[in-house]
A = this chain, B = another copy of it.
């Protein structure tokens, strides 16, 4: 599922019916209806000296093989959640917890880190849910990336709109790169870093849109301008809803000790944490700017009403008395003035004087 905040729509969550059991047992996965989307599995093994990247066609065969002895880190990435058998195979192989499997399949979780401590049979795992944001088809989308971190293994799952991870594979392939030299938790850091960095271009888009709206508010405000401002505010709310838990998650990873997290990774996660703080700073700034634009809009409209009313008042105030005067001399009574030959020019003179003194008075009040 993607939380959408498009135009008129209101965010909504699709939840299982109340009363249904939570958590998905590995054995139940097979019964779930999968989708028809393409699913790709890629595996990268590397150590400082060696690297092997393979597209996994036959997962069962692949999992039956032992990993090469030289591999320090194995990273399995699954793009697409439509093939339940693949998820099942990985869940069995790596002993994933039913609740984590459910969170992975129902892609509407808040960003979070969950610690599933190890037991005698299987080592501890860290289950991490992160959320990216994206502009697609003029709408804001938020996708989920689920990651299972073991001591030497990282398994990641992406939904229907996976991020392009080739640049990261590229960096692994580069001998001597920091990523290549470090452990699985450093790879986790690199992925989180990429996720967080994706927020910046989206925010830049809002920055540009706010710039345009600022101009529009002042120069050609219309009802639609205000709607667009509210739309931006609402989108920013969605971004904030995605960014806050992400900040907490990364702050948590950076601070707390965990058997799977190396101290190098934690030092670098501080940097990601700083970026999160900057993102939240920007979101708050943009929201304040949008609010002040909405205020300006209201004031621009009320200024326009004021101008319009002012014009009516000036016209009315000048002509209504004069019209009355013309009406008087149009009465069919015996009006002495009407017999005078200079009455007509005099009438115009009076009109001119009245109008002129009105105009002067208006100018003095600053209305003209």
Chain A positions near chain B (C-beta within 8 angstroms): 8-13, 15-23, 25, 97-99, 102-103, 108-110, 112, 114, 164, 167-168, 171, 177-179, 190, 193-194, 197-198, 200-201, 203-204, 207-208, 210-211, 214-215, 218, 220, 223, 226-227, 230, 233-234, 237-238, 241, 267-268, 270-272, 274-275, 277-278, 281-282, 285-286, 288-289, 292, 294-306, 308-313, 315-317, 319-324, 326-338, 340-341, 343-344, 347, 366-367
Q: Are B19 and A274 in contact (CB under 8 A)?
A: no
Contact of A334 among B25, B274, B343 (CB under 8 A): B343
Distance in Å: Cβ of A195 to nearest Cβ of chain B = 8
Distance in Å: Cβ of A42 to nearest Cβ of chain B = 16
B-chain residues with CB within 8 Å of residue A226 when the two chains form the complex: 296, 299
Main SS of the interface on chain A?
helix
Given the known A-B contacts A194-B19, A320-B320, are A110 and B277 also in contact in the complex, defined by CB atoms under 8 Å? yes
Contact of A230 among B13, B296, B306 (CB under 8 A): B296
Distance in Å: Cβ of A221 to nearest Cβ of chain B = 10
Question: CA separation between A337 and B344, bound complex, in Å?
Answer: 10
Q: Are A292 and B114 in contact (CB under 8 A)?
A: no
The 3 closest A-B pairs by CB, nearest first: A326-B327, A18-B197, A19-B167
B-chain residues with CB within 8 Å of residue A20 when the two chains form the complex: 167, 197
| CB closest chain-B residue, reference A310 | B308
Distance in Å: Cβ of A260 to nearest Cβ of chain B = 18
Q: Are A190 and B21 in contact (CB under 8 A)?
A: yes
Q: Are A308 and B367 in contact (CB under 8 A)?
A: yes
Q: Are A234 and B344 in contact (CB under 8 A)?
A: no
By CB atoms of chain B within 10 A, which of A112, A179, A319 has the most? A319
List 13 extra interface pairs beyond A110-B281, A233-B292, A305-B306, CB under 8 A: A8-B211, A8-B215, A11-B282, A13-B204, A19-B167, A99-B271, A226-B299, A241-B285, A297-B299, A306-B308, A312-B313, A332-B332, A335-B344
B-chain residues with CB within 8 Å of residue A102 when the two chains form the complex: 271
Distance in Å: Cβ of A19 to nearest Cβ of chain B = 4
Contact of A319 among B97, B289, B320 (CB under 8 A): B320
By CB atoms of chain B within 10 A, which of A215, A233, A289 has the most? A289
Distance in Å: Cβ of A122 to nearest Cβ of chain B = 15
Contact of A268 among B99, B270, B300, B367 (CB under 8 A): B99
Given the known A-B contacts A234-B289, A301-B303, are A16 and B334 also in contact in the complex, defined by CB atoms under 8 Å? no
Given the known A-B contacts A230-B292, A309-B309, A319-B324, are A271 and B303 also in contact in the complex, defined by CB atoms under 8 Å? no
B-chain residues with CB within 8 Å of residue A211 when the two chains form the complex: 8-10
Q: Are A331 and B347 in contact (CB under 8 A)?
A: yes
B-chain residues with CB within 8 Å of residue A19 when the two chains form the complex: 164, 167-168, 194, 197
Contact of A315 among B16, B210, B320, B328 (CB under 8 A): B320
Question: CA separation between A208 and B218, bound complex, in Å?
Answer: 26
Q: Are A317 and B315 in contact (CB under 8 A)?
A: yes
| CB closest chain-B residue, reference A197 | B18
